[in-house]
Amino acid sequence: MNRFEEKTVSSNLLFEGKIISLRIDEVELPDGKRAKRELIDHPGAVAIIPITDDGKIILVEQYRKALNRSLIEIPAGKIEPGEDINVTALRELEEETGYGANRFEYLQSFATSPGFANEIIHIFVAQGLYKIDKPAAGDEDEFIELFECTIEEAEEMVLDQRIYDAKTAFAILHAKKLLKD
C-alpha cells in the first residue's frame, strides 16, 4: 500500500449523465481517520496539435458554457466507450477541422483535475495535414470556428488569456519545442 493511499470504505453514485458521473466515496485515510471525497468519473479525452506544412497551428474557437465564454483551443473530444485513443484522435481531427494527417503521433497524457476528477487527456501531434473532401460531421450542438496562427501568436494568446484552458496552454509548450526541432 502506498503510504498516502486512501482505502475506499463505501461509494455512493449520485448522478450518471451522458458525459460524466458523480459519486461520493467515504475513504479511510493513512492515519485511520475517515473522510468523504466528491469524485467525477469521466471517460477521458484526446486533444490534437495540428501543425500545417508552413509551421502554423490550427486552433478552434468555441463557446464553453461552464465558463460562460468563448475559448480558443486545440481540437479535442471525448473518448467513446471501448474506442482506441488513436481512433478518437483521428476522428476528432476530421470532425473539428476537416483535415486528416499523414503523420500522426502520440505525445503525452495528463490528468486535468486530479483533486476531484479522473479525466485523462491524451495529446497527439498531427502533421502532413490534408483537407478531407467530405469530412465526418461534428457534434450537432457544437459550433466552432477554425483559424491558424504561429507559435508566437499562440503564446501571446496564452499570456492575454484568450487561450485559457490547460490542455491548449500545455500543447503550446510542446508545439514550440516541435517547431524548433
- Residue 140 pLDDT greater than 80, yes or no: no
When pLDDT is cut at 50, 70 and 90, the band that residue 181 belongs to is low
C-alpha distances in Å from residue 127, one per residue of 14, 27, 52, 68, 115: 42, 45, 6, 32, 34
Model confidence at 2, pLDDT cuts 50, 70, 90, reads confident
Query: What does the pLDDT average to over 5-13?
Result: 96
CB-count exposure of residue 141 (10 Å: 0-12, 13-18, 19+) = exposed
**What's the grid cell of residue 65?**
458554457
CA–CA separation, 180 vs 139, rounded Å?
34
Mean pLDDT of the 128-155 span: 86
User: Which positions are catalytic?
Assistant: 140
Instruction: Tell me the pLDDT tens digit for each residue of 58-96.
Output: 999 999 999 999 999 999 999 999 999 999 999 999 999
Span 30-60, pLDDT tens digits: 999 999 999 999 999 999 999 999 999 999 9
Residue with the larger pLDDT of the pair 136 and 102:
102
Residue 138 — pLDDT band, cuts 50, 70, 90?
Answer: low
pLDDT tens per residue across span 101-116? 999 999 999 999 999 9
